[in-house]
Amino acid sequence: MPTVNFPWLCVALLAITLTSSASAHPIEDDVDVEINRLESRYTGNKTMILALARLRRSWRAHQEAQCFFEKTAAAGGTVSKPVPPEAGRAHQACVDRTRAEMKSALAKY
């Protein structure tokens, strides 16, 4: 039976996690910066702070649903592993587009 060096495996998985969670999408960071800017602008306004928290949650849920739909449609209506290249491209294009749209919308305020 093969042996596995679990401490090294844990370190490798942690390194992969930290690398993948690094700022791979600067537009997403810009969206967070815009929401944070608006939160600081409306610091004393509880209604606006709650609205911004709800906005952050709902736009991410919308983005996930929209991009899943576009990926599935590009894959011919099914989701399988591995994801076909055209489905991966459709998903990434959707992610980039929705982030840019949100950043642009928030910048107006």
Euclidean distance between CA atoms 69 and 86, whole angstroms? 13
The answer to the question of residue 85 being in a domain is yes
Q: Which helix (H) or strand (E) holds 15?
A: helix 6-20
The per-residue pLDDT for 9 is 40
Q: Is the previous residue joined to 2 through a cis bond, with omega within 30 degrees of 0?
A: no
Q: Which residue has the tokens 């929209």?
A: 66
The answer to the question of residue 10 being in a domain is no
Euclidean distance between CA atoms 102 and 35, whole angstroms? 10
The answer to the question of residue 98 being in a domain is yes
The answer to the question of residue 13 being in a domain is no
* Domain of 82, in residue numbers: 24-107
The answer to the question of residue 46 being in a domain is yes
Q: Which helix (H) or strand (E) holds 87?
A: helix 85-107
Flag the least confident range among 1-5, 52-56, 58-62.
1-5
Mean pLDDT of the residues in the chain: 80
The per-residue pLDDT for 26 is 62
The answer to the question of residue 12 being in a domain is no
φ and ψ at 71, to 5 degrees? -65, -45
pLDDT tens figures, 56-100: 999 889 999 999 999 999 999 987 888 899 999 999 999 999 999
The answer to the question of residue 99 being in a domain is yes
The answer to the question of residue 14 being in a domain is no
Confidence band, pLDDT 50/70/90 cuts, at residue 11? very low
When divided into structural domains, the chain yields a total of 1
Flag the least confident range among 34-38, 39-43, 75-79.
75-79
As a whole number, mean pLDDT of residues 8-19 equals 40
Total residue count of the chain as it appears in this document: 109
Cβ neighbour number for residue 92 with a 10 Å cutoff = 14
